[in-house]
C-alpha cells in the first residue's frame, strides 16, 4: 500500500513490477513527482497445528532487491490482521504485534548486493499458532525519516520457515506381565500373578524426526498413597511401539489393586497425556476343588473316599462320572474360574505352569471353565490303577498345588480289572523284496524277547531264534482288511530298527485307504521321532510324538488311542516294557475307519514314505492295552516249541 495512491489495492502484486516497496520516498526522487510512504504485506495460509504443538522457530525470509544506499536502515516485521483485495492505505488491517527489526541495506551496488533478509517471528508465536492465516507486514522502522534512505524494494514472494514440536502420544497399555482380563477385555478386572511384573506400554511421538523420547513409568496403590515403583526408559525411538521396563530390584508388590501410570517426554520439553491403567496382583492359589464320584459301578460309593474300584470292567471299557466343584470361600478375593484335570497311571503329574479358559487340551491335561461352581466329567481308566488329579485355577492363572501352593491337588484313584488279552497272529503278504530274516534275541527273566543285531540285510551272527521283517526300497507287507475300527480304542506296537533317519516320513504300520481316515505309526521327518497319527476328520489329523529313533539301533514303540479320555499315548524305549507315556489330548473324537481299509507295513497307501530296516513283532489290535498288557499280549507270537510266529498281531 502507498500513501501516494491511498485508495489503490495492490492485491497479489497488481500495478507492480514484481517488487514491493517499504519506507519513505521523497517527491524529488519519485518518477511521478509525488512523495510515497509504502508498506508491504505477505499473507500465508496458517498451518492447522494440533492443540499440543509448540513453535520452536519461525522466520520470514524475503529478498531485498534495492536499497537507497549501502547504509543500513531498519525494517520492522509486524503481525497484523488479514488482508484482502479491498486492502488499501485508507483501509489497513489492525497492527497486532511487532516481532523483529532488521537493519539492512541490500541491492544498492556491488558493495551491498541484493540478498535475503530474515525476520524473527517468535515474539508472536502464540498468535500464529492459533491463526488460520498468517499476515506479516514489513514497514520502515522510522517512517518519519524524510531523507529517503529508508526506501527499499523486496520481491513479491516471501517464505516462512517454521520448526515446531508436538507432544508425544499418550501411552497405551500393552501388558502387565502375565496379566489377563477376568472377563470381557477392558470391561473387567485385569489380574496378574506376578508380583514383580515387567511393564509394557505403547508409546511414540508424532514428530518422528524430532529426536528420541523418554517413557516414564510409575505404580501406586489404587487406594491412594505414594508410588511404590518408578522407572524410565530413556532415549528410545519416537516410532509407535511397545516399550518395556523390568521391575528390577524394587520390592515386590503385595496382593491388592494398583494403578500403572505412564507418560512420554521429548527432547523439546513436550509431555504426553498421562496414561492410567488399573490392575491387580493376586498370588494366592484357590483351594483345591472337591471331587465326588457319581458312578454307581464304582465301589465304595462314598464321596469321602478317594480310592475306588470296579472289579467288573477292564481299562477303557466303560466311562466313570465324577463331579468337580468349587471350594470358594468368601475370604478369597477371587473364586476359582476353572479346573484342570488329568487321567494318568502316575499318581503325581504336574499341570502346565499357567492356563486360561482358552487353553486347549495339553498332553493329558484338560481345562474346564463352567458357568456354575461345579461340572460333571466322564473319564476312563488307563491302566489297572489310574489316577484322576484335579486342580483349580483363578483368573490370574494361579493353580492350586503349584507355584503358589496352598495345598496338594485333589487326587482320587481308580482300580479295575486287568485281564491278559487274547490276540491272534495274522499272516502278511510280502511285496517288493520284503522278507522274514533270522535275528538273534535275548530274554531276561520275566521279560519278553529283545531283538539284537543290525538293521541291514546282512545275516545275523550268533544263534538265531526269531524272525524280523526286512524292508528295503519298494518293499512292503500287507494285511488284506482293516485290523481295527479307529473310532474305538486301539493299540499299536513294534520293535523297529531303521537303517537311517533320512529326513522323510517313514511309515511303519498304516491303516489308511486314500483320504479315508485311519491310523498311522510313523517316523517323523524332522526329528526322527516316533509318532502316532489318527484322524478327527477327512483331512484333519491329531498327532502325538515321542522320543527319536536311533539309526542302526532297536527301539520298542507302543501307541494307544483312548476313546473315553480322548488321548493319544505313545512310548519309545530300548527296554522290553513301557516306562513313560507321551500324551496328547484331542478335543474331537477320532473318526471311524472305512470298512475297505487294509494294513500296510513299510509304506504309505500310495507307495511313498518308504521305511528301510527291520520290524519285529508288529501289532495293530482293537482295545486299549495297558503297560502290563502290552507285555503279556506278545505271548501270542510264541509257539509251544519256543519258535515264533511271523505276521501281524491283531
CATH topology of domain 11-164: Jelly Rolls (2.60.120)
pLDDT band at 333 (very low <50, low <70, confident <90, very high): very low
Q: What is the pLDDT of residue 538?
A: 66
Other C-beta atoms closer than 10 Å to the C-beta of 81 total: 15
State phi, psi for 266 to the nearest 5 degrees: -110, 175
d(CA 337, CA 286): 9
d(CA 531, CA 557): 9
Contacts of 46 (CB under 8 A, 6+ apart): 128, 131, 132, 133, 134
How far does CA 255 lie from the centroid of its chain? 27
Q: What is the pLDDT of residue 117?
A: 98
d(CA 438, CA 564): 40
Q: What is the pLDDT of residue 404?
A: 35
Is the pLDDT assigned to residue 513 strictly greater than 70?
no
Q: Are 40 and 134 in contact (CB under 8 A)?
A: no
User: What CATH code would you report for 172-281?
Assistant: 2.60.40.2550
Span 58-63, mean pLDDT? 97
Q: What is the pLDDT of residue 406?
A: 34
**Looking at domain 425-649, which of 2.60.40.10, 2.60.40.1180, 3.40.50.10860, 2.60.120.200 is its CATH number?**
2.60.120.200
pTM of the full structure = 0.64
Span 421-426, mean pLDDT? 92
Is the pLDDT assigned to residue 405 strictly greater than 50?
no
Q: What is the pLDDT of residue 329?
A: 56
C-alpha cell, 4: 501516494
Selected residue with higher pLDDT from 366 and 40: 40
Selected residue with higher pLDDT from 406 and 123: 123
Domain residue ranges in the chain? 11-164, 172-281, 290-416, 425-649
d(CA 469, CA 453): 13
Is the pLDDT assigned to residue 408 strictly greater than 90?
no
What integer best gives the mean pLDDT of the chain?
Answer: 90
Q: Which residue has the cell 488499501?
A: 88
d(CA 195, CA 180): 14
Q: What is the pLDDT of residue 303?
A: 55
C-alpha cell, 291: 471331587
d(CA 104, CA 94): 26
User: What CATH code would you report for 290-416?
Assistant: 2.60.40.10
pLDDT band at 321 (very low <50, low <70, confident <90, very high): very high
Span 312-336, mean pLDDT? 77
Same fold, 172-281 and 425-649: no
Q: What is the pLDDT of residue 302?
A: 57
Is the pLDDT assigned to residue 330 strictly greater than 60?
no
Write out the E strands in 361-505.
365-368, 374-379, 385-393, 410-416, 425-426, 429-431, 435-442, 450-452, 466-471, 476-479, 490-498
Span 356-363, mean pLDDT? 79
Span 112-133, mean pLDDT? 93
pLDDT in tens, 573-602: 999 888 778 887 766 677 776 777 899 999
d(CA 295, CA 320): 6
pLDDT in tens, 337-351: 788 899 998 888 888
d(CA 273, CA 568): 54
List 397's β-bridge partners, or say none: none
pLDDT band at 168 (very low <50, low <70, confident <90, very high): very high
Amino acid at each position: 500500500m502507498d500513501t501516494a495512491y491511498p485508495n489503490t489495492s495492490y492485491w497479489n502484486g497488481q500495478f507492480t513490477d514484481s517488487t514491493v516497496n517499504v519506507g519513505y520516498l521523497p517527491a524529488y526522487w519519485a518518477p511521478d513527482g509525488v512523495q510515497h510512504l509504502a508498506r508491504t504485506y505477505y499473507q500465508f495460509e496458517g498451518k492447522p497445528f494440533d492443540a499440543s504443538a509448540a513453535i520452536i522457530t519461525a522466520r520470514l525470509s524475503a529478498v531485498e532487491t534495492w536499497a537507497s544506499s549501502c547504509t543500513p536502515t531498519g525494517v520492522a516485521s509486524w503481525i497484523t490482521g488479514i488482508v484482502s483485495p479491498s486492502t488499501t492505505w485508507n483501509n489497513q488491517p489492525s497492527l497486532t504485534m511487532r516481532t523483529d527489526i532488521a537493519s539492512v541495506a541490500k541491492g544498492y551496488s556491488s558493495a551491498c548486493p541484493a540478498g535475503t533478509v530474515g525476520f524473527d517471528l517468535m515474539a508472536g508465536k502464540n498468535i500464529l499458532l492459533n491463526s488460520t492465516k498468517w499476515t506479516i507486514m514489513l514497514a520502515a522502522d522510522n517512517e518519519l525519516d524524510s531523507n529517503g534512505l529508508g526506501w527499499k524494494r523486496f520481491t513479491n514472494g516471501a517464505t516462512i520457515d517454521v520448526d515446531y514440536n508436538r507432544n508425544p502420544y499418550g501411552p497405551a497399555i500393552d501388558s502387565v506381565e502375565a496379566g489377563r482380563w477376568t472377563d470381557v477385555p477392558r470391561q473387567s478386572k485385569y489380574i496378574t500373578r506376578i508380583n514383580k511384573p515387567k511393564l509394557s506400554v505403547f508409546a511414540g511421538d508424532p514428530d518422528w524426526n524430532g529426536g528420541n523420547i523418554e517413557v516414564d513409568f510409575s505404580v501406586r496403590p489404587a487406594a491412594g498413597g505414594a508410588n511404590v515403583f518408578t522407572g524410565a526408559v530413556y532415549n528410545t525411538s519416537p516410532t509407535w511401539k511397545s516399550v518395556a521396563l523390568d521391575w528390577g530390584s524394587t520390592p515386590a508388590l503385595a496382593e491388592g489393586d494398583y494403578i500403572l501410570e505412564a507418560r512420554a517426554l521429548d527432547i523439546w520439553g513436550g509431555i504426553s497425556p498421562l496414561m492410567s491403567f488399573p490392575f491387580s496382583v493376586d498370588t494366592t492359589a484357590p483351594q483345591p476343588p472337591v471331587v465326588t464320584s457319581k458312578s454307581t459301578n464304582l465301589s465304595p460309593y462314598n464321596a469321602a473316599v478317594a480310592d475306588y474300584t470296579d472289579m467288573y470292567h477292564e481299562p477303557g471299557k466303560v466311562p466313570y462320572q465324577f463331579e468337580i466343584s468349587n471350594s470358594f470361600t468368601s475370604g478369597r478375593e477371587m473364586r476359582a474360574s476353572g479346573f484342570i484335570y488329568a487321567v494318568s497311571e502316575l499318581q503325581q503329574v504336574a499341570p502346565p505352569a499357567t492356563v486360561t479358559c482358552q487353553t486347549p487340551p495339553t498332553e493329558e491335561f484338560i481345562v474346564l471353565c463352567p458357568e456354575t461352581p461345579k461340572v460333571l466329567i466322564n473319564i476312563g481308566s488307563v491302566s489297572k490303577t489310574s489316577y484322576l488329579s484335579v486342580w483349580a485355577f483363578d483368573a490370574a492363572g494361579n493353580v492350586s498345588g503349584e507355584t503358589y501352593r496352598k495345598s496338594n491337588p485333589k487326587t482320587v484313584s481308580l482300580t479295575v480289572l486287568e485281564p491278559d488279552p487274547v490276540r491272534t497272529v495274522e499272516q502278511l503278504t510280502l511285496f517288493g523284496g520284503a522278507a522274514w530274516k533270522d535275528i538273534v534275541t535275548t530274554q531276561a527273566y520275566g521279560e519278553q524277547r529283545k531283538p539284537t543285531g543290525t538293521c541291514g540285510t546282512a545275516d545275523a551272527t550268533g544263534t538265531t531264534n526269531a524272525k524280523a521283517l526286512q524292508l528295503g526300497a519298494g518293499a512292503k507287507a500287507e494285511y488284506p482288511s482293516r485290523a481295527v475300527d479307529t473310532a474305538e480304542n486301539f493299540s499299536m506296537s513294534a520293535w523297529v530298527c531303521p537303517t537311517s533317519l533320512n529326513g522323510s516320513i517313514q511309515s511303519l504300520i498304516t491303516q489308511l485307504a486314500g483320504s479315508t481316515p485311519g491310523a498311522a505309526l510313523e517316523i517323523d521327518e524332522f526329528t526322527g521321532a516316533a509318532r502316532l497319527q489318527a484322524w478327527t476328520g477327512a483331512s484333519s489329523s491329531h498327532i502325538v510324538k515321542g522320543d527319536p529313533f536311533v539309526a542302526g539301533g532297536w527301539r520298542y514303540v507302543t501307541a494307544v488311542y483312548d476313546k473315553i479320555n480322548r488321548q493319544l499315548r505313545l512310548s519309545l524305549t530300548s527296554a522290553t516294557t513301557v516306562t513313560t507315556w507321551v500324551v496328547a489330548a484331542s478335543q474331537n473324537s477320532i473318526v471311524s475307519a472305512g470298512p475297505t481299509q487294509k494294513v500296510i507295513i513299510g509304506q504309505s497307501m500310495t507307495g511313498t514314505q518308504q521305511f528301510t530296516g527291520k520290524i519285529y513283532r508288529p501289532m495293530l489290535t482293537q482295545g486299549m492295552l495297558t503297560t502290563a498288557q502290552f507285555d503279556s499280549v506278545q505271548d501270542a507270537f510264541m509257539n509251544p516249541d519256543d519258535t515264533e510266529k511271523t505276521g501281524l498281531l491283531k
